[in-house]
Each structure stands twice: as structure tokens, then as C-alpha cells.
Amino acid sequence: MKTSRDLIAYNDLKKMIIEPGFCNLCGACEAACPVHALKIEDRSLKYTHDCTNFMEFCPICYDICPFTEALLLETLGFVSGAPNRTESIGYYRKIILAQAVDERMREISHSGGVITALLMHAIKTGFIDGAITSESEKETPIRIKPLLSLVPDDLLSAVDYEYFPSSVAKAFGRAVHEYGKTKIAFVGTPCHVRAIRKLEAWEHKIMNSLKIVIGLICLWSFSFPKLTKYLKEAYNIDASDILRIDLDKKYDVSMKDGRIISISIPEIEAHTLSVCKMCEDFTSELADISVGGAHPLKDWSIVIIRTEVGEEIFEDAVKANVIRTRKIEERPDVYAHFVEMGLLKKRYAAEEIERRKRCGEPVPPVYIRMLELLPREISLLSSLRAEHIMTREIIAVRPEYTVEDVLTLMTKHHHMGYPVLNERDELVGIVTFDDVSKVPASKRKETLVKDIAHKRLVTAYPNESAMAVYEKMSEHKIGRILVVDRRNPKKLLGIITKTDIMHVLRWPMRR
């Protein structure tokens, strides 16, 4: 990671992001540049004129690029006011299943149609005056381009997926400068959402026009040339003959002539965008609302509400009977599938980063930053002790519970790991989502917790420093650590998770 920055951000941006091929064409740099020196044209980023003619120092394009290390903890501030946080979902207020009441919208979007319904209602009531989403290109329906919707009917051409790069942040800049809209809704993938939040954290003046950010639940985006070449070679299909791509447990490619070709995830993973391979944000953890398909249900979407703005707009739509909801506790299988996909993405990301580090290939600064701590963060963690940051209200399971019970508990409380306490309330083990998902669905009613729980535990004591706790978690590659009494190691006092540590790092920077 660079320690010193060039006076002109574009030089750094070129070296760290554009030349290694980490640009996903979001266009945030184009929207933010005060002298309009950057332009996305022909699916590449062009430097139209030398910005040093106008400025001697400018940090903007490097700071707000979603793949650089700047402003990351500040962006968390937009969602960290939420009461709940877990590793699988991030910070959130509520997670539910929802669908649009109007059947037409569900048909168009091939899942719950929630974003379309929400935004159409918001434009109708004047909550927003424009929405940035994406729509299909005419000749090649799977390729997308940004869409600015100003009236509700414009949203009917919006698509629910973004499997290829779409310059939505550039469209946001255009909506502000050229259309003069002042209450804009932004819909994008996790990296687009991160770019917008970085712009907001930097306090750029175009952000006065942002009203709400809706994030999509995203596994990966593909590189159009790579994927179309592979599809031509392996399956002999042209990109323009493809109608749509759906992701359930496999990628289902629907052709215009009616055929459906299934491609497995490991097979297709080689053709994703290089930055997507290392991304571990599955649920758009920085958005106001995150929406994604609720597989295996065909007509419903999972909705994660993280902020008050998101709650306001969602409750308004529910009250106006545009959206109907259902508790996610009713469908633990949906929740299990959702969390599995998220863990899959995190696993692929960790592997790819390891591989690149070993081979000496470049890694985008943002992922390096997420793995390492700054000196001031180290000193903050060293000054705190485990007893200051642990959660004392613990949800625990008994050894006699079945795996099905544990899954129900996970769907209700959304934590990824639960300590196991015997009838004398002594700590005997820990059971995590990984253990639960390894049990096949048919055996979940019979297998008991004591069969799958880990008995050897990594623990910490209340007076250990938070830095030591963090190091233990990194060393053993675990997501949570149990805090036990030094005098009685079977007495459980609290739990510290990775998200707790991240929350602590934001303490000096409360918004």
C-alpha cells in the first residue's frame, strides 16, 4: 500500500487502478472531477485533458474510486447507526421478504419486483425526482447501460441484475449537472454503492442531490469479452442471442429461442471481472436498502433495511399497498441459501487475494486496507480491553438441540455462530453456520448439536487487550471469539465478533 500520495490523484489512480485493470467503469471519477478531465467512452476510462493545467493539487479521483483505500471507515458511518450487525449481513435494522403487489412488476423483474415498485411509488409521491438504475441494450439484452428515470413508467425498462459493468455513477453525475435533479435514488452493485458513499463521505457538492441508495445483492460481474468468448467456444452461442442470465444455484442462460443452458459457478468464475474476484461484499453493506432474489422462491425478494431513510421509504410503500412483506423466519431455507452464497463469495475472495500475494500480482488497495490496520487503529485497539468491547447478551444453544433448531435460531437472530452450553451453563463448544450447512437437508432433524460442534475452543480473557483478541482471530481465521472467566474457563462472559472490532474502530469518528 502506498504511504505517500502524489499531488495529482490521477497519477496514483492510473498506477494503482487503471493500469492493473481494476477499473469497473462505474464513472464516479468522471462525476466528481471538478475540471471534467475524465470520461468513460467506448467502455474504457479516458483522460481527456491534463488536469494539471487547472490545479496543482487534487485528491478527488483517487479518494473516491471504490477500489482505493481512502475513506473506508468514514463510509461505514452512514450505516453504523443501525442497532444490529452480523458478519453475514453487515449493519441492519430489519431483514424481511417482500414482493411487489402488482404482478406485472414481478414478471418484468423475474423476482420480487421490489426495487421497481419502491421507486415507482417514490417518484409518484415526490419523495424522489429521479432514479438511476440500469437497462438492457437493444441488440444485446444481457449488456446493460445506465438509465435515468424521471417518471414512474421509465422504471418499467429497468433490469434487476447487473452482470456486466454499468456506468451508473457517471449517470448520477449527469443527472445532477445536466438534468438538475435534486432528490435522486441510486441503484447499484456493492462497488457502485461504495463509490457513492465515498463521494458522500468526501462531502462532494453533487451529493447534496442524493436521496437514497439501494444496493443490489451481487455475486460477481463478468468481463464481457471474456465471457462471450468462453460461451462461443464452449457452447457455441453468441452474446446477442442471449435473453437473460439468472443465478440460482447455477447460472441459467436463457436464449432468445427458448433454450436454457446451465453453467456451474466454478466454471463461470474464471470469467468474472478481476476486481470482482477479490470482493467480499455480497449484500451491499453500505446501502440504505439492499435487495436481492430470495431463492428458491421465484416471486419474492430479500430486503435488508439498514438506515432510517430506507425504513421510511419502505414503510411508506408497504402502507400504500405497493409492496407486501413476509417474515424471513418462515423460510429458513431461503436464509440458509442467502448466507451460503455470501460465504462462498468471501471464500473465493480470500483465496484470490492469497494467490495474488503469493504470485506477486497486484491487488486493489481497498482489499489490502481491509486486511491490515493503520497505526492509529492498532493503538486504539491496544488501549481497549476485551471486557470493554464484548457483547454480554449471548444467545446460546444446548447440546441436545437439533441442527434444524439451530437453523431456525440463525434465521431469527442472524448470527453466524452460537456457543454451546450444557445444563449447568458450562461452555462445552461452539457451532457455526459452516458446520450447519455441511449437514444435508434431509438429516437436519436428526443430527444434534453435540455431533457437529467444535469442542476445542479459541478463547480470550476479559483483561486481554482488544489488539490481542484481533490477532488471535486473524491467526485462527475465525469470525468470533468467546470471552471466558480466567478463574473458571467454562464460564462464558461474552462474545467478540469481527464486526464488533470494526465497530470499535469507528469510535473516534462518530458522525
Residues that bind other proteins (CB under 8 A): 7, 32, 34-35, 54-60, 202-205, 208
| CA max distance for the chain | 74
Euclidean distance between CA atoms 264 and 287, whole angstroms: 29
Residue 67 beta carbon to other proteins: minimum distance, rounded to whole angstroms: 21
Cβ proximity to other proteins: between 60 and 436 the closer is: 60
Annotate 488-499 with b (16+ C-beta within 10 A) or e (fewer).
Answer: eeeebbbbbbbb
CA atoms within 13 A on the CB side of 80: 19
Residue 198 beta carbon to other proteins: minimum distance, rounded to whole angstroms: 13
Cβ proximity to other proteins: between 320 and 509 the closer is: 509
Residue 7 beta carbon to other proteins: minimum distance, rounded to whole angstroms: 6
| 38 beta partners | 47
Euclidean distance between CA atoms 283 and 281, whole angstroms: 6
Q: Does 296 sit behind a cis peptide bond, omega within 30 degrees of 0 on the bond before it? A: yes
CA distances for 160 relative to 25, 234, 247, angstroms: 19, 27, 12
- Determine phi and psi for 474, rounding to 5 degrees: -70, -40
Kindly state the helix (H) or strand (E) to which residue 314 belongs, with its residue range.
Answer: helix 308-319
Residue 34 beta carbon to other proteins: minimum distance, rounded to whole angstroms: 4
The residue count of the chain comes to: 511
CB 235 within 8 A of CB 261: yes
Smallest CA-to-CA distance from 458 within 496, 499, 414 is with: 496
Cβ proximity to other proteins: between 59 and 462 the closer is: 59
Residue 57 beta carbon to other proteins: minimum distance, rounded to whole angstroms: 4
CB-based burial of residue 387 (10 Å sphere; 0-12 exposed, 13-18 middle, 19+ buried)? middle
Q: What one-letter code names the amino acid at 25? A: L
Cβ proximity to other proteins: between 180 and 225 the closer is: 180
Cβ proximity to other proteins: between 202 and 230 the closer is: 202
Cβ proximity to other proteins: between 54 and 235 the closer is: 54
Cβ proximity to other proteins: between 32 and 219 the closer is: 32
Edge-to-edge strands, sheet with 301-305:
144-149, 130-136, 184-188, 210-216, 289-293, 301-305, 94-100, 323-327
Cβ proximity to other proteins: between 57 and 507 the closer is: 57
Residue 35 beta carbon to other proteins: minimum distance, rounded to whole angstroms: 7
Cell of 241: 442471442
Residue 174 beta carbon to other proteins: minimum distance, rounded to whole angstroms: 16
Cβ proximity to other proteins: between 18 and 35 the closer is: 35
CB-based burial of residue 151 (10 Å sphere; 0-12 exposed, 13-18 middle, 19+ buried)? exposed
Residue 33 beta carbon to other proteins: minimum distance, rounded to whole angstroms: 8
Smallest CA-to-CA distance from 76 within 192, 189, 203, 197 is with: 197
Cβ proximity to other proteins: between 30 and 87 the closer is: 30
Cell of 123: 417518484
Residue 4 beta carbon to other proteins: minimum distance, rounded to whole angstroms: 12
DSSP letters spanning 125-173: HTS-SEEEEEEE-SSSTTSEEEEEE-SGGGGGGB-S---S---HHHHHH
Euclidean distance between CA atoms 26 and 279, whole angstroms: 15
Cβ proximity to other proteins: between 59 and 362 the closer is: 59
Cβ proximity to other proteins: between 205 and 355 the closer is: 205
Residue 172 beta carbon to other proteins: minimum distance, rounded to whole angstroms: 15
Residue 476 beta carbon to other proteins: minimum distance, rounded to whole angstroms: 40
Residue 64 beta carbon to other proteins: minimum distance, rounded to whole angstroms: 10
Euclidean distance between CA atoms 313 and 304, whole angstroms: 13
